[in-house]
Amino acid sequence: MFAQLHGARIAAIHTAVPQQEIRIEDELEYYGGSLKKAERAKSMIGTDRRRVAFPGQTASDLCQAAATDMFAAHPEEKQRVDALIFVTQSPDFDQPATACALQHRLGLPQSCATFDVNQGCAGFVYGLWLAGTMVASGSCGSVLLLVGDAPYRPRDPRNRIMAPIFGDAGSATLITRDVDAAPLIFSIGTDGAGFAHIIQPGGRARVPFSEKFENNRAFFEDIQGADGYPWRLCDTYMDGAAVFNFTLRVIPEHIREFLARSGADPATIDYFVLHQANRQIISEIARKAGLPLEKTPSETFSRYGNLSSASIPASLCDLFGQDGSTGKRKIMLCGYGIGLTWASCLWEAANCACAPVLSVPAPDSESASPEAQVRFWCKYLQGERDAT
């Protein structure tokens, strides 16, 4: 899919990460107690730290924090929002859409349309395309795009494929109507043959929980993978080699074709902001696509880990947050991963407001803890609507 959208402007971007930071040296037990092995892993991964959500802190909480920070800087924009899109793979509930709750929590108008989108590492660019389409069509004057992920359960620290790499974050982006804005140019693709390369197999319609409690044991038991690490049906599985091969086979060619079709001279592009999967993948994509490394940042991965759908907005906030604005720059965005999907956007930024990445503390209410939430909803189902 290739599209040009006219009349839509990316006006502001804010990103939030949890204050909780976990470093490789905090987990020496998973490296046989050897600091030397941990240092070797750090060198291979390209980071020694990641930001991890506190118990009771969800992707929607992090997105809410980013949006609240944005509206504090631009209070006049809140009542102008016509639609809210929440892009995540970790909603608060299976139903209703978490976007509905976020509309209320943020104090947005009741005339605001709301919906969730299930997307991962390409999710920010997918969300820009959806929001931009809604604004460019004239159906919305302003769309709030919230993008982020944080898993339901802590990642298993024994699994050194997943745990050392992934972090948690949420972002808020405002897309507004502006007839003078340069067009947003998109290219999006999917190879569903690889859908199982990154997957959480258990717990939904295809592999549902049993009504008999004792039959659900298999969902939470360790499965020894061919890679030597433990996996569980209810956790996210990733075939790292297959994903790596897909990325280097598809994404550099996609970038070259996208730039050629959009008529953009790569030399005139100020930054190529890629999904921060890890430093090795970013440098290899840049090399194979012919992108200059000095224009292809990877520092956000080193600071926070792989933030999935929020890695691109976090990178933009890292790049421009201290200045408060992108200024006038030409930027290419490219996300890729789960699905398998990919999406790119060519963006002539015109003073888009950006803030430094916000660090969010633990929830200050005991009622946010998972245990308290279980008690609350049990009482709610019993009819105690004022349960606390």
User: Is 74 an active-site residue?
Assistant: no
Contact present, 178 and 7 (Cβ < 8 Å)? yes
Instruction: Give the DSSP H/E element, type plus range, for residue 371.
Output: helix 370-381
Single out the catalytic residue among 100, 112, 197, 306. Answer: 306
Q: How far is CA 225 from the centre of its chain?
A: 26
The answer to whether 306 is a known catalytic residue is yes
Q: Residue 373 has which token pair?
A: 């939430």
Name the catalytic one among 112, 121, 334, 354. Answer: 121
What residues are paired with 189 via a beta bridge? 342
355: its two tokens: 């803030």
Supply the Cα-derived Rg of the chain in whole angstroms. 21
Residue given tokens 């290899």 in the structure block: 284
Q: 214: exposed, middle or buried (C-beta count within 10 Å: 0-12, 13-18, 19+)?
A: exposed
Strands 21-23 and 8-18: unpaired
**CA–CA dist 222, 21 (Å, integer):** 26
Q: How far apart are CA 247 and CA 197, in angstroms?
A: 12
Residue among 14, 197, 254, 275 flagged as catalytic: 275
Strand, helix or coil for residue 148: strand
**Could you give the angle at which helices 98-106 and 59-73 cross, rounded to 10 degrees?**
30
On the question of a cis peptide bond just before residue 96, with omega within 30 degrees of 0, the verdict is yes
∠ CA 160-164-165, rounded to 5°: 110
Asked about 112 being catalytic, the answer comes back as: no
Active site residue ranges = 121, 275, 306
